[in-house]
């Protein structure tokens, strides 16, 4: 399956959004205007430098004065500048107000991590942004700590993310980022796995694809990998610092080069994948796919207990479950997961005889305060928004701990 | 056709001036420098200080470029890199470029070009210098005690560093340093304004002022009006940091965008504090080396003043993506385009001055011509950034970095270097080697363009600024940029050696080696402790080449004042 990515120019990256051609047209307008002015000024300078170079007998003529000339070159450029302002402002306003039919994606930026929450509360793995093609998307952005800025060069969009307020931007992607759709008759390229109808980069080992977070391989590190477009980068464009001294790695952090330290402004990158509407719909229904390393070759849709357990373990770590729920039977601020599956639960409200089954685990994740296990009133677990498939994976993992 | 500086007709009779007292030798000992109120000595002390700061900032720049030659870790870790680029910016802006031309060259030449003995408040002038030294000490403490990594803009809430991984107490030292440096800037501005208004020599009316004076005057106005805002902003930042008063930190109910407004309300006018003096020097160079009055003198003078005023109205263009309202964005964009008008007027008039001139290509003039060429690029790329839709893409990328380096280095630093080459013989009484000055010029010119032209392309391709690490696709451009930086560095080393050799064993400079009609060349070389033995009466403008004979230009007007040599003793006071 060959895929022809859109090409950029020497000065500008590929155009991947509806506004990109307009922005680029404006860029080249001012570029050629600048070239014309520069050439004219340089030509005049060089000509005068040659013609009036100092040589024996050459005496400067006294400077004359011309109000007409002064007024000409003071006021004529105003017309050009007025046009530039007007055209630039029009283009800007077009990029400010999102169309009515936009879908909303929430962007949460923190040092040095992107998190994207899709309609229906589906939260993708960190540093991974999937958007449907030919569909306006509005991003509602907030920051947990310092200033950040969402910047996608191929879309020509950028907006600061300011703690204490919401900012937004919108775009409509016009091209898929890679050979996305696949089925039995149209397999993916080498190096990709067909998953839920989309091609996802395959990883050789966990180290390749689970740099720190367990998301798919860090393809965003390369725009062009042997002609294969994996993803385009989302940059943080507003300086957001670095970690001092001993890095606190308890939170998730982005470490594309596997240095194991020094998360910083320049590593705050996300992978942007433009996928088909069908692919996006299945993503919304099923949640983010499991890490490719969990998917066996004979089970591409991850239905087996092995695959789900593997995924569940990764998910539990990502979501921070083990900080309260031990997996070895030790008592923590919340009940241990070891041996939990199938056990009878007794609740604070006195109700007993409920078995810890799939329905109970689903409720405990989505509505943790609905029924509190006796003796754990101090545990203040918040609801987690996970897809059914993700919950199935965590359930499989809990089951595996028996 | 180049007039070789060393070979310029100097006549034999400058030897006869050995008996004339000069400001360098009439008093000796460290106290005569430490407690001097002679504006020339203070200017020279500023000159050495800003050159030291420039070398320090330049080393930081080379460290940054070396780190960026390859993706991943090349030389240092990310924290260190963030500190190094912060120091590069802060040192270059606050310790070098803002005081560079006004405090060093301005201090030295403003009174001479006004035909007066000193600035209006000589003791205040010395005070300004020591305040600068104090501010520098605080800044050095910040460098030594801590790890300041906020960028030179100190954007909140990162710089406040509360509940986030952020800069530590060294931010307080650094902002205190910049706060103190601001007072030096304000007091120098007040001093210069008073001097220009009250101390002009007889016959020196406003329309005869050197365009250098006009530029420094406009700069001083900005310094006096804008710097207090920076002081207040940094004071609030220090209070926020130490007392948690909640001005800028959203966790305390503050607003981080407010900081950006405050900061740029100073720092955009500060851009004109940086560039106007560079333009001011270029006026002198073009006039002198074309032997022609600047075309449209009054328009050029007024363009400096209008840049100074317009500079106060466009700070928002640093914040187009910051989340301020669309109306503000619109107004700031429209006003930003107006800045192009006075900048264009200057360029057009400079080029028109060359027309029918008699153009010498001595090293100072090379810097002036390079200034026009580079500032044209710097100015026009500013239009890219003024256009809202295009700015959204280019904001906070290397395109911006390249743009302001074309203005700040291609403009101000080239103006500063041109000024030093031009006035060095007058300041120190020694000639430098013109051949090596030319070699250094070409290294600097080529190195500069290689360094920053590649950054334009990187930036428009989407490379964000202040990145320690980058995607592999940007590597060739980063490599080119770093290579250019090394060429630039070699140029500065050649230049430095040339000046040091000149200082130590340079040929004695004639009073007017360039054949300039400017007032500062009318005095002896190095200048008399009181600038002029007797107060000169200005009977012509500083660019009236048609009123001077060839002999006057090269032999110097000092003859007119030499007669008063004998009367200097009775006039001599404690300098």
pLDDT for res A307: 87
- Using 70 as the pLDDT threshold, list the residues of chain B that sit under it: 1-19, 162-168, 551-552, 554-575
pLDDT for res B378: 96
Neighbours of A358 (CB within 10 A): 15
Query: Which of A88, A107, A226 to mutate: most B Cβ within 10 Å?
Result: A88
Binned at pLDDT 50, 70 and 90, residue A242 comes out as: confident
Residues in Cβ contact with B355 at an 8 Å cutoff, skipping those fewer than 6 apart: A48, A52, B295
Q: Give the percent of chain A with pLDDT over 90.
A: 34
- pLDDT digits 0-9 by tens, B305-343: 999 999 999 999 999 999 888 899 999 999 999 999 999
Contact call for B469 and A60, based on CB within 8 A: no
Rounded CA gap, B517 and B527, in Å? Answer: 16
pLDDT for res A300: 67
Rounded CA gap, A6 and A15, in Å? Answer: 7
Minimal CA–CA distance to B330: which of A40, A371, A96, A55?
A: A96
pLDDT for res A243: 65
For residues A388 and A291, the model is more confident at: A388
ipTM of the complex: 0.89
**A105-134 mean pLDDT:** 87
Contact call for B461 and A233, based on CB within 8 A: no
Quick one: residue A257, left, alpha or beta (phi over 0 = left, psi -120 to 50 = alpha)?
alpha
Contact call for B250 and A221, based on CB within 8 A: no
- pLDDT digits 0-9 by tens, A172-213: 999 877 655 566 666 666 666 665 555 655 544 443 333 222
Minimal CA–CA distance to B423: which of B110, B206, B176, B115?
A: B110
pLDDT for res A211: 29
CB pairs under 8 A between A and B: 299
Q: HSE (CB half, 13 Å, CA atoms) of B245?
A: 9
- Among candidates A146, A149, A167 on the partner chain, residue whose Cβ is nearest the Cβ of B157: A146
Show the DSSP H helices in A135-250 as ranges. 206-209
- Among candidates B296, B462, B466 on the partner chain, residue whose Cβ is nearest the Cβ of A265: B466
* Residue A152 pLDDT > 90: yes
Binned at pLDDT 50, 70 and 90, residue A2 comes out as: very low
Question: Would you report the helix, strand and coil content of chain B in percent, each value rounded to 5?
Answer: 70, 0, 30
B176, B238 Cβ separation under 8 angstroms: yes
Contact call for A264 and B296, based on CB within 8 A: no
Rounded CA gap, A238 and B496, in Å? Answer: 37
Which residues in chain B touch residue A111, judged by CB atoms under 8 angstroms apart?
Answer: 164-165
A219, A201 Cβ separation under 8 angstroms: yes
Q: Which of residues 374-413 of B touch A (CB under 8 A)?
A: 376-377, 380-381, 383-384, 386-393, 395-397
The tokens for A359 are 């329905």
* Residue A304 pLDDT > 90: no
Q: Give the percent of chain A with pLDDT over 70.
A: 79
A125-A126-A129 Cα angle (round to 5): 80
**Residue of chain A minimizing CA distance to B147:** A244
Contact call for B389 and A165, based on CB within 8 A: no
pLDDT for res B304: 93
Residues in Cβ contact with B198 at an 8 Å cutoff, skipping those fewer than 6 apart: B120
Give the distance from residue A333's alpha carbon to the nearest chain B alpha carbon, in angstroms.
25
Rounded CA gap, A231 and A234, in Å? Answer: 9
């Amino acid at each position: 399956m060959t895929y022809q990515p859109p090409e950029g120019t020497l000065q500008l990256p590929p155009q991947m959004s509806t506004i990109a051609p307009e922005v680029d047209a404006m860029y080249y307008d001012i570029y050629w205007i600048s070239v014309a002015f520069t050439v004219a000024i340089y030509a005049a300078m060089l000509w005068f430098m040659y013609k009036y170079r100092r040589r024996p007998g050459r005496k400067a003529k006294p400077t004359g004065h011309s109000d007409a000339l002064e007024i000409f070159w003071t006021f004529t450029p105003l017309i050009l500048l007025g046009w530039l302002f007007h055209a630039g402002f029009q283009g800007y306003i077009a990029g400010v107000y999102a169309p009515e039919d936009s879908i909303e994606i929430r962007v949460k930026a923190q040092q040095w991590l992107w998190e994207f929450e899709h309609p229906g509360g589906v939260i993708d793995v960190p540093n991974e942004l999937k958007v449907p093609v030919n569909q306006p998307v509005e991003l509602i952005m907030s920051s947990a700590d310092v200033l950040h800025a969402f910047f996608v060069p191929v879309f020509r969009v950028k907006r600061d993310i300011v703690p204490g307020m919401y900012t937004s931007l919108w775009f409509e992607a016009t091209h898929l980022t890679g050979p996305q759709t696949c089925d039995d008759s149209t397999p993916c390229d080498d190096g990709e796995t067909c998953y839920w109808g989309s091609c996802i980069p395959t990883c050789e080992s966990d180290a390749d694809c689970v740099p720190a977070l367990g998301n798919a391989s860090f393809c965003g590190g390369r725009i062009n990998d042997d002609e294969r477009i994996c993803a385009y980068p989302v940059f943080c464009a507003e300086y957001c610092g670095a970690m001092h001294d001993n890095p606190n790695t308890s939170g998730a952090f982005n470490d594309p080069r596997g240095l194991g330290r020094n998360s910083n402004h320049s590593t705050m990158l996300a992978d942007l994948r433009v996928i088909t509407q069908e692919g996006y719909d299945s993503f919304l229904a099923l949640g983010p796919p499991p890490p490719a390393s969990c998917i066996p070759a004979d089970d591409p849709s991850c239905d087996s207990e092995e695959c789900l357990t593997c995924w569940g373990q990764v998910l539990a770590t990502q979501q921070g479950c083990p900080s309260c729920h031990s997996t070895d039977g030790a008592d923590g601020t919340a009940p241990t997961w070891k041996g939990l599956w199938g056990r009878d639960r007794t609740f604070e409200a006195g109700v007993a005889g409920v078995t810890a089954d799939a329905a109970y685990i689903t409720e405990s994740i989505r509505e943790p305060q609905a029924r509190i296990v006796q003796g754990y009133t101090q545990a203040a677990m918040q609801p987690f928004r996970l897809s059914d498939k993700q919950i199935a994976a965590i359930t499989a993992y809990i089951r595996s701990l028996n | 056709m180049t007039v070789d500086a060393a070979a310029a007709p100097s006549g034999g009779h400058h030897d006869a001036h050995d008996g004339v007292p000069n400001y360098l030798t009439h008093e000796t000992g460290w106290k005569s420098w430490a407690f001097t109120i002679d504006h020339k000595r203070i200017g020279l002390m500023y000159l050495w200080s800003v050159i030291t700061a420039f070398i320090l900032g330049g080393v930081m720049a080379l460290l940054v470029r070396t780190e960026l030659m390859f993706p991943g870790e090349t030389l240092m870790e990310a924290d260190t890199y963030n500190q190094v680029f912060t120091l590069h910016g802060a040192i270059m802006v606050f310790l070098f470029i803002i005081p560079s031309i006004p405090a060093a060259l301005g201090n030295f030449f403003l009174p001479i070009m006004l035909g007066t003995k000193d600035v209006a408040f000589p003791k205040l002038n010395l005070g300004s210098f020591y305040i600068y030294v104090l501010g520098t000490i605080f800044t050095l403490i910040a460098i030594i005690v801590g790890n300041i990594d906020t960028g030179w803009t100190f954007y909140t809430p990162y710089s406040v560093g509360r509940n986030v991984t952020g800069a530590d107490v060294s931010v307080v030292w650094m902002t205190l340093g910049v706060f103190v440096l601001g007072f030096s800037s304000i007091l120098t501005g007040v001093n210069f304004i008073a001097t220009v208004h009250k101390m002009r020599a007889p016959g020196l009316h406003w329309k005869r002022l050197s365009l250098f004076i006009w530029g420094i005057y406009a700069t001083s106005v900005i310094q006096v009006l804008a710097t207090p805002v920076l002081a207040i902003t940094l004071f609030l930042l220090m209070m926020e940091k130490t007392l948690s008063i909640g001005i800028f930190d959203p966790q305390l109910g503050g607003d981080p965008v407010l900081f950006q407004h405050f900061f740029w309300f100073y720092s955009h006018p500060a851009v004109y504090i940086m560039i106007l003096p560079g333009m001011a020097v270029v006026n002198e160079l073009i006039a002198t080396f074309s032997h022609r009055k600047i075309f449209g003198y009054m328009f050029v003078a007024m363009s400096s003043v209008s840049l100074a005023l317009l500079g106060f109205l466009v700070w928002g263009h640093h914040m187009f993506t910051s989340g301020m309202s669309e109306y503000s964005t619109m107004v700031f964009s429209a006003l930003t385009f107006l800045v192009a008008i006075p900048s264009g007027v200057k360029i057009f008039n400079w080029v028109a001055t060359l027309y029918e001139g008699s153009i010498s290509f001595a090293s100072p003039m090379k810097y002036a011509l390079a200034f026009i060429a580079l500032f044209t690029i710097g100015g026009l790329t500013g239009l890219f950034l003024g256009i809202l839709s295009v700015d959204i893409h280019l904001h906070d990328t290397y395109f911006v970095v390249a743009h302001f380096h074309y203005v700040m280095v291609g403009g101000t630093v080239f103006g500063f270097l041109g000024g030093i080459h031009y006035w060095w013989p007058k300041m120190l009484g020694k000639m430098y080697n013109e051949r090596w000055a030319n070699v250094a010029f070409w290294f600097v010119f080529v190195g500069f363009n290689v360094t920053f032209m590649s950054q334009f392309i990187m930036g428009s391709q989407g490379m964000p600024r202040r990145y320690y690490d980058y995607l592999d696709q940007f590597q060739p451009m980063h490599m080119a940029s770093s290579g250019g930086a090394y060429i630039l560095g070699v140029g500065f080393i050649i230049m430095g050696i040339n000046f040091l050799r000149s200082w130590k064993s340079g040929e004695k400079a004639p009073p007017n080696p360039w054949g300039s009609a400017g007032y500062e060349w009318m005095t002896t070389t190095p200048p008399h402790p009181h600038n002029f033995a007797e107060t000169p009466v200005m009977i012509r403008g500083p660019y009236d080449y048609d009123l001077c004979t060839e002999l006057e230009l090269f032999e110097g007007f000092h003859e007119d004042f030499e007669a008063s040599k004998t009367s200097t003793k009775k006039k001599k006071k404690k300098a």
